[in-house]
Amino acid sequence: MKKLKEHLYGTLLGNIIVLVVILSCVYGLIFLIRKYNNPFLDSTTPVSDSADTIKDNCNVAGINIHGTIMTYTPKHAENDTNFDYDITASEDIIYSINQANANPNIKSILVEIDSSGGYPVAGEEMANVIKNSEKPVIGLIRENGASAAYWAISGADKIFASKNSNVGSIGVTQSYLTNLKKNNKDGYEYQQLSVGKFKDAGSSDKPLTQEEKNLFVRDLNIIYQNFIEAVSVNRNIPIEKVKSFADGSTMLGEKAKELGMIDEIGGINEVENYLEKTIGEKPEICWE
């Protein structure tokens, strides 16, 4: 009985050793096949390096300005299901353009615009960093390049847009809805507890006096003039000509080109052709 057990044990151990040898050969064969049929799979180069290699090949930095334009993204937005995530912060655009300028591989910057606008300071900040970029900035307006979004891209060296794009909307608004009738219907009464004559001016729960309205319109006119002046300087258009079409409306691409608001009609293909001519090589765009 003892000899039988020893025989069985020896047989089992031998089978295990044979199985291990076979599996080792199979895995070795698979590795060799993969290695010599995939030039990117090299035992001396980590697979994760492929992403860095692709990034190093980029010669154009692609930056998107989409949605509502704001100066920053609120910290609470990360976990706020009610927050509108379709925004672009000017502080992020400033950072991206500065990074592109510091990268010796980048020869030009492409900024894609698809936005109906946002806040004036954010638009102004974007326009200034684009205008003062050390490397040329090309703007591409897709569906919308309006209001603060147009202010932002007006600082680009060259602007492309589709003939069907909405461009412009040079104007300022602060219109809002009041809750007065609804509050009265629901039995709510506004109790004013504020110090400073205009501290609660513009509250949707109280009537807007003419004096308060004049105050708001005064500031809106100042921002409006600043907008017009920025477009005039950035696009090299006489200020009186800008005033003639700065009525708050948008216009299609062909009309915008006629007025000097954009430079060329076209999309990404036309932009890439232009980039190839200006940088002297095929553009490889690396989008943020």
Task: Provide the CATH number for the domain around residue 52.
Answer: 3.90.226.10
275 and 210 both lie in a single domain: no
The 8 Å CB, 24+ separation contacts for 178-187 are: 178/204, 178/205, 178/207, 178/208, 179/204, 179/205, 180/205, 180/206, 180/207
Same domain, 56 and 149: yes
Q: Are residues 94 and 214 in the same domain?
A: no
Do residues 85 and 115 both lie within one domain?
A: yes
pLDDT value at residue 78: 64
Looking at residue 149, its amino acid is A
Domain count of the chain?
Answer: 3
Q: Are residues 50 and 26 in the same domain?
A: no
- Compute CA 243 distance to the chain's CA centroid, rounded to the nearest angstrom: 29
* 98 CB-near residues (< 8 Å, 6+ apart): 129
Which pLDDT value is given to residue 73?
85
pLDDT of 116 reads 96
Do 129 and 195 have their domain in common? no
Report which of 64, 50, 24 is spatially closest to residue 145, judged by C-alpha positions: 64
Picking from 13, 28, 45, the residue at the C-terminal end of a domain is: 45
8 Å CB contact between 70 and 87: yes
Q: Are 90 and 69 in contact (CB under 8 A)?
A: yes
Q: Give yes or no: residues 216 and 153 share one domain.
A: no
Same domain, 145 and 261: yes
Per residue of the chain (288 residues), what is the pLDDT tens digit?
Answer: 544 445 444 554 455 454 444 545 544 554 444 444 443 334 333 333 333 434 668 999 999 999 999 999 877 666 666 666 789 999 999 999 999 999 999 999 999 999 999 999 999 999 999 999 999 999 999 999 999 999 999 999 999 999 999 999 999 999 999 998 898 899 998 998 999 999 999 999 999 999 999 999 999 999 999 999 999 999 999 999 999 999 999 999 999 999 999 999 999 999 999 999 999 999 999 998
For residues 41 and 163, membership in a common domain is answered with no
d(CA 109, CA 93): 12
User: What global pTM score does this model have?
Assistant: 0.79
Q: Do 221 and 182 have their domain in common?
A: yes
Q: What is the pLDDT of residue 211?
A: 96
Within 13 A of 39's CA, how many CA atoms are on the CB side? Answer: 0
User: Could you tell me if 217 and 154 lie in one domain?
Assistant: no
The residue ranges of DSSP E strands in 186-276, in sequence order, are 250-252, 264-265
My answer on whether 179 and 165 are in the same domain is no
Burial 143-157 (b: 16+ CB within 10 A, else e): ebbbbbbbbbbbbbb
Segments forming the whole domain that contains residue 260: 46-169+251-288
Q: Are strands 166-168 and 250-252 parallel, antiparallel or unpaired?
A: antiparallel
Q: How many CA atoms lie within 13 A of 269 on its CB side?
A: 1
